Amino acid sequence: MRGMAFCINYGFAANDITCYLAGHPGKMPCIQTAFAYNARMTKKKALKGGDTDIAQNKKARHDYFIEETFEAGLALQGWEVKSLRAGKANISEAYIVLRDSEAYLFGATIQPLNTASTHVVVDPTRTRKLLLNQRELEVLYGQVHQKGKTVVPLKMYWSRAWAKIAIGIARGKKEHDKRDDVKDRDWQREKARVMKRG
């Protein structure tokens, strides 16, 4: 095997050099060991970098038709980030308000950890600014102010190291729409049960 790689045994760039590994009989190319080591680390990073849900707003899809979704960042304080990593968030009663050419998350609850600093004044339900670009804000403002729709939070999640929230442009459902959704959900559940038995 040709090429440069980092020798994890000697600690310098190696080019087809070999060394004795502790507890290993004979010789083994450091370059191969280094590639294997790098492959393992890359795999770990890939697994760690996946998206993970923090909280979901299941009521949103029950009460609204979601016509378009956006991903927004969140302006958070340090204690909030730590709480989100522990899954201490609830957005089931949250809603989005558009004001002064910005978007804000109201009513979301982030519970502080017991280890939170006593020097920081925490407010679990404080208003949090959403981070969106100008084009996205213009679309939201247009849909809400011109077409009478609303914007609802759908779920909060990690995207790599960043906390994100999925929001949707929504249109309210009528009662018969909700009943139809319940019937369809029950049918899908029953169909899955029958298929599993078969």
CATH class of segment(s) 52-177? mainly beta
What would the pLDDT profile of 57-69 be if each residue is shown by its tens digit? 999 988 899 999 9
pLDDT at 114: 85
Amino acid (1-letter code) at residue 36? A
Position of tokens 């909030």? 80
Domain ranges of the chain: 5-48, 52-177
3-class SS at 159?
strand
Structure tokens at 14: 């190696």
Query: What pLDDT, on the 0 to 100 scale, is given for residue 178?
Result: 56
d(CA 71, CA 116): 28
Q: Which residues contact 12 (CB under 8 A, 6 or more apart)?
A: 6
Dihedral, CA atoms, 116, 118, 124, 128, nearest 10 degrees? -90
pLDDT tens-digit profile of 173-197?
876 555 666 666 666 776 677 677 7
Task: Convert the pLDDT of each residue in 75-113 to its tens digit.
Answer: 999 999 999 999 999 999 999 999 999 999 999 999 999
Please say whether the beta carbons of 146 and 120 come within 8 A.
Answer: no
**Percent of the chain's residues with pLDDT above 70:** 63
pLDDT of 29 higher than 80: no
What's the rounded Cα separation, in Å, for the pair 155 and 71? 10
pLDDT digits (tens, 9 = 90+) for 114-138: 876 667 788 999 999 999 999 999 9
Please, what is the Cα angle at 53 between 141 and 69, to 5 degrees?
A: 25
